[in-house]
Amino acid sequence: MLRLGRREFGEHEPVIMAIVNRTPDSFYDQGATFRDEPALARVEQAVADGAAIIDIGGVKAGPGEEVTAQEEARRTVGFVAEVRGRFPDVVISVDTWRHEVGEAVCEAGADLLNDAWGGVDPRLAEVAARYRVGLVCTHAGGAQPRTRPHRVTYDDVMADILRVTVGLAERAVALGVPRESVLIDPGHDFGKNTRHSLEATRRLKEMTATGWPVLVSLSNKDFVGETLDRPVKERVLGTLATTAVSAWLGAQVYRVHEVAETRQVLDMVASIAGHRPPAVARRGLA
């Protein structure tokens, strides 16, 4: 059982985490949800399309203009409070690696801290424990926040992913984070080249076999673009194919831009796997 905020999710229940970037320079939407009005409209549409989690980020993942902790908090804290008031049952996640921001958003009503940089600030897990909120434990290959990988090597990329993410998850639980609220994430593209991310996908069953719920953040990433030689705006089909493979291998939470399309893919895979009945079953019965 995965428990986040007011919500509980069964073992075979796929969960969509919709991305809402409060940044003026996000790689995919180029700041489309930087202002409050379009960001709130994005939340409303994502929830209507089937997202159970809203992931709010105040800093672009890649290199760019410096964003201080104070500015990151300014972009996210008030918005978290507004979403909490308007959507009391939605799970609110905040994508941050800083404990100061984590504390502020938890005070505002966040349910989950999405630490995409692999515990670079160990105090973030302490914040999650103190507020009894969830935590995403990600493999970033030791990379510093907002840096791109350069000639990264692993003897065995999945072995390293398992060592880091399971270690972070066990530490979080030892600190007091509820075990049922901890997820692990292979960190596609973070501290990895395209071949590493493809191998992490291919071997995802090794992560799901640990018993920790697995989150994958695949949406329109560079490994999809390089695999198919497609620019950012033409990566949806590759993303959805990778989503289907990840679902078949047991991932549970999907951080995405395209919520409605992802919902259909996950429902189809769940039905093929026997975890979900068809929405309609008339063929051959008339």
The residues annotated with a catalytic role in the active site are 221, 255
Helix axes 36-49, 259-273, angle to 10 degrees: 20
Centroid of chain to Cα 118: 13
Cβ(244)–Cβ(270) below 8 Å: no
Measure the CA–CA gap between 87 and 26, rounded to whole angstroms.
Answer: 24
Pairing of strands 112-115, 134-138: parallel
Measure the CA–CA gap between 25 and 34, rounded to whole angstroms.
Answer: 9
- Tokens at 237, concatenated: 């089909």
Query: Exposure of 203 by Cβ count < 10 A (0-12 exposed, 13-18 middle, 19+ buried)?
Result: middle
